[in-house]
Each structure stands twice: as structure tokens, then as C-alpha cells.
Chains A and B, each alone.
Chain A
Amino acid sequence: MRKSIVMKVLGAVMAMSLVFSAVVIADETEAGAEVSYEADVNGDGKIVVGYISKNFTDPFHAPINARAEEYFDQAVEDGIIDEWTGLLDGETDPNKQIDRAADCIAKECDIVIFLPAEAEASDPALVQMADAGILVIEVNSKSASCDEKSIAYVGSDDVQAGNMLAQWVVDNCPDGGKFIHCNGVLGNSAQIQRTEGMHEIMDEHPEFEMVGDFDTKWDGNLAADAASDAISKYGDELVAIICDNDGMSSAAQKMCNDSGREDIICIGVDGVEVPMQMVKDGSLKATILQDGVGQINGAIEIVEALVNGESFDPAPVIPFVLITADNVDDYM
């Protein structure tokens, strides 16, 4: 009994000291300046890296996961790190991500790359890893306490993406008109922020009227149905379809093209294979590329900096890129 209490106290002291050491090693500099940490946080002489994906099914996340797997397999082989967890599937489920975080703690990871599924619901995964002393790098989207608990965030500004969606429509429909908006899963941080960004621009343009705000759940089939419903109802008055991702915008554009309405401007965010190919073919005028591989490469650079004891930028922003026929070849 007494031995158990002593062990618990020792454990608590060790955990606190790990957190404390991470804090004091970090340079006391202002936000935006470079920071550094000791990579081997538990002092076992090994660097173990964890990777909690958002999911394995979304085409946007597939190349991110593939790049991480390729790099960390090679990094173990080259002796840059000692071990890694492999790709842990978050299944777009905060509950599963919290479980995977517990797995990373059990595996005594020093560094974890984490792609949160949800801002609030996935946050406990970050909190429990950070409280266990793990250096967490969030990628692609932020969980609620990202700024306090993670050592870095590599991502893009979804509000900016929303601005770009709307600006493209404004620029390409000079006379204004009716448009619809196809949402991602309601409540998802990317859906919220892209919608916010879209409204920032569109609300400034009274010549445009939003006549539908559909719960299309990132689903191309539902977006295509929303497009055909809107064409059926508004006919020539419909000028644009703004989508939170380009899986939806490409499906909506295909529906418009098949209905003889190639003039309708459809645009979305991500830059996955199909819409990029459609831009190249000319059947889709534009899409917004979210450079997912660029994001994971940013996180990999931070891992390398940690291993080498170097300082790094804790909040590199990977900008969105407007993809049109003029530059699509540069990104395919």
C-alpha cells in the first residue's frame, strides 16, 4: 500500500517535472517568434513520434497520411527517430481520437502530430497528451486549446478560404444574382470558418442573394441534388454555387454542366484529385487548393528541428492557392 502511494507521488512529480522542463526550455519570447524544446521529453533516450490522423477515408487526408507514413518510415530507418506509432486512424471521431491519444501516452511518445476532427470535442485528446508532457503539433485545424497546449500549429486560415470562394464568385459574376451555399458537416470548424469567410465578402455585395444554405455534409451526391433543385427552382437566375469543399463543388458543377448550365460558377476548397483534373479539363473553372501535403511537411520540419535541438516557427501558415487553368499544372 505504502509502496503504491510512493510510486504514485513519484509518478506525479515526474510528470510535473516533464511539463515544467518543457516550459522552461521553451524560449521566453513573444508570440510569432521562434521557440525550441527538448525532444526527448521523458528522458528515456529514445525519440518516439505519434501520428493521429483525422481519418483514412477523405481524399483530402489521403495524401497527408501517405506523406507522413513515407517520411516517418524512412526517419526510423535512417535513425532520425527511434520509433513511431504508424498512422493511427481518428475515424473523424473525437471519441476515437481521444482513445488514440491515450494509446500515444501508453506508448510513451515524445512528440505527437495531431489532426483534430472537431474543435471542441477533440480537444481532450490534446489536453491529455499535453498534460502527460508530450509535445503536440496540431495540423490542418485547431482544437479549442491549441494555442495554450500545443507547441505548434501548422495549417491554413479557413476564413481566408471562405473569402477566396466568395471573391471568385464576385469577380466572375459582375452582374450579381442568386447563389446557394453547400455546407460541410454543420459544426465542423472548417465549415464554420469557411462560411464565415464567405459571408464576410458576400454580405458586402447586395447584388448577390443567397437563396439556399444546404446541409450537404461534405457529400457530392447531396450537393449535386441541391444544385439540381436550385436550377429547377431558380432557372437562369442562379449564377453560382459556393461549396465548403471541392468534392461537392465538382459534383455540383458536373450536375450543372449535364443540365446545360455550364455558365453557373461552382467553387469549393481542398484541391483533391477530381476537381483539379476538372479544372485542367476545363469543365470546372476554379478550385481553392488547401496544401495538405505542405501542412504535413511543415509539421515534419518542426519534428526535425526538435530532434536537432533547433528553434522553429510555432505557427507557420500554409496559404490557400486559387487554382485555375493557368496554374493547375504547377500543383498536379
Chain B
Amino acid sequence: MASSPRTGKVTTQDRIRSLLGQYGIGIVLVIMMIVIAIMEPRFMTPGNIINVATQISINGLLCYGLCLCITTGGIDLTVGAQLALTSCIIGQTMTNMGWPAFLSILAGVGVATVFGFIDGVLIAKFNMFPFVVTLSMQLVIRGLSQVITGGRAVMLTNDWFTGIYSNKFLGIPMPIIIFIVVTIIMYLMLHWTKFGRYIFAVGGNVNAAIAAGVSRFWVIVGVYTISGVLAGLASMIYTSKTGSAQSNIGIGYETDAIAAAVLGGTSFAGGIATIPGCVLGIFIIGLIYNGMNMIGVSSYYQSIVKGLIIIGAVMLDMVMNRNKH
């Protein structure tokens, strides 16, 4: 946090400036909510707010994985394909092989975790570019999901599994609960643990981090593995939601996840990110879809607005972190 040059003390003004730097995007979110609510009063009903919170859970989990990878100076382009692979493994094992739902989920999320681990090892051990590794790996993962199902859709009939999306706990839909739990875990991990500090250190200045005794290898492997776990969990929610496992799902989903992370202040320069910021970014992306649908804006314009907001956020990021760039 910046401090007053004359006294060396952190002033209220400094604190406000710092907060604006980290969470200024929240103002965009509030403005969006007000504008949409004025144009469509039904937007602010409790039912619709829960609806939005439920819808964003899939992109939310993907976004956290992307946030960690981007903070270390990398990227994970496999998340869309991971959605497909986990979905196919769950469908194939549960419906066609008769496995219990819990075991199928474990297998699906486990395989996604293994692929995340492999990405991390390739990047950290062999110094390969994250973009190249994950771009190539998503082809492998997508191909594998096609091999598993032969391109066919597999129906999920297990009530417990399909209820993951639709069931409620204490009146709150399960996807929201999963999202909140993951958000708390991610917040504690990134902002309150040694591992979280190492992530910022590796992304901020890798040489200084190594000199300070940080294991770059395990930090990189760790974040890509976590990204795999989160993609697997996102796929579980997705598959439960549609009741169908298929290999063509998740195409382009990394775009929304990256957009949410960047909107939340995650810097592509590495070393800068906050989980609360990501939550704001996730809600903004969700609101773009929901708000425009509620207002009745043409889908063509939704795409334009989404693109413009992402460009605006990246510019905001560059202005607010000018020194770093």
C-alpha cells in the first residue's frame, strides 16, 4: 500500500486509493445493477438474484483456477476441455458402468486434477510456455473425451447427482453453497497462507522468490493442479445442470473465466490478484448475460458489450497498476 511521502504513514486517502485500485471494478458492478434494475424492475427480485448466483457458479470455479495461474504469470487454456472430459468420465462411469455417483465424481475430478498436475510439471520442470502447454493439452483432453464417449451424449439419471444443481440446503441452491465454500477456501489460501504468498512472489518476481527460498516448481505445479480440481468441480455442476455428459461442451468457456479474473483485477503481468476482486468479476460476467436477457437486449449486442467491458477493465488495470507495467 502506498504511503504519504512526507510522513511515511498510511493515510485514509491512501487507503481509499488502494481500495479503488483493487476493487474499483465494484463500482462498475453497482452501476450495472442500478441501470439494469431501472430498466427491468424484476431484475432485483430475490428470485432473480439467486438465479444469477446459481448461474455464475460454473464460471466462478473456472475463474479461480485461471486467477491463480495468471497470478503466477501463466494461463490455463485447458479448462473448457476439462469440463468435457470430466463430464464424459462421470457419464460413462455412472450411467454405462453403474458406478456410484460419488465414485464417478471422484474419478472425473481426479482425472482433471491429474491433467492439471501434468500441465504444471511440463511448465515448471521443462520451462515450457504455459500458453503452449495448455493450448496443446486441451487438444489431448478434448480428444480423450471424444474417445471415451465416441462423441455420443450420455444421460445422467441418478437423482442424487442431478440434484447437485437443483437441490437446496437451508433454502440455498447447492451450486451457490459450493461456490461460497470454494470462495472461502480460495480466499484463505491466497491471502492467508504461505502458499498464497509464494504464488504472489513467483508471479511478481520469480528470481527474488527463488532467492528467498521459494520452490517455483511446487508453486507452479500447485496452482495448475488446483485449476484442474476446480475445473473438475465446475464440470460436476455443469453435468448435473444439463443432465447430460458429452464431449462438445465447454468450448470457449475459458474466455469468460479469463474475463472474470481480469475484471477482478488479476494482472497478466503476474503477482497481482484478489479473490474478492474475482468475485466481482464473476458477478459482472454473470450480470452481462442475465441483465441483458432480462432487459431483452439482442444477443448480438451482448457480445459487443462483453468485449468492451473486458477491454475497459484491462485499461483500468493498466492505469491503476501503471508502475508495475
A interface, CB within 8 angstroms of B = 55-59, 61-63, 65-66, 183, 186, 211-215, 219-221, 224-226, 228-230, 232-233, 247, 250-251, 254-255, 258-259, 272-274, 277-278, 281
Contacts and interface: CB of A to CB of B under 8 A. Distances in A.
Interface stretch (B9-17, B197-205, B243-251, B316-324): B243-251
Contacts of A229: 48, 51, 289-290, 293-294
Contacts of B146: 56-57
B72 interface: no
A55 B142 CA distance: 13
Contacts of B300: 186, 215
B82 interface: no
A58 B151 contact: yes
B100 interface: no
A251 B242 contact: yes
A250 to B, nearest CB: 7
A283 to B, nearest CB: 9
B152 A247 contact: no
Contacts of B238: 221
Interface in B282-321: 289-290, 293-294, 296, 298-300, 302-303
A56 B149 CA distance: 11
Residue of A62, A230, A274, A278 ringed by the most chain B CB atoms within 10 A: A274
Contacts of A65: 151
Contact of A274 (B153, B247, B248): B153
A254 B54 contact: no
Interface stretch (B39-47, B114-122, B182-190): B39-47
B54 A228 contact: yes
B242 A232 contact: no
A224 B247 CA distance: 18
Contact of B48 (A57, A58, A233): A233
B277 to A, nearest CB: 24
Contacts of B294: 229, 232-233
A259 B150 CA distance: 32
Contacts of B162: 254
Contacts of A255: 241
A274 B243 CA distance: 8
Interface residues of B, number: 41
28 contacts: A56-B151, A58-B151, A59-B248, A62-B150, A65-B151, A66-B150, A183-B299, A186-B299, A212-B293, A213-B299, A215-B299, A220-B249, A225-B55, A225-B290, A226-B293, A229-B51, A229-B289, A230-B293, A232-B48, A232-B294, A233-B48, A233-B293, A247-B153, A247-B246, A250-B243, A254-B243, A274-B153, A274-B244
Nearest to B167: A258
B272 interface: no
Interface string B125-167: 0000000000000000010001001111111010000100110
B247 A57 contact: yes
B105 interface: no
A59 B302 CA distance: 28
Contact of A251 (B157, B244, B290, B299): B244
A219 B152 contact: no
A258 B161 CA distance: 13
B58 interface: yes
A251 B241 contact: yes
Contacts of A59: 151-153, 246, 248
A258 B155 CA distance: 16
A232 B153 contact: no
Nearest to A276: B155
Contacts of A213: 298-299
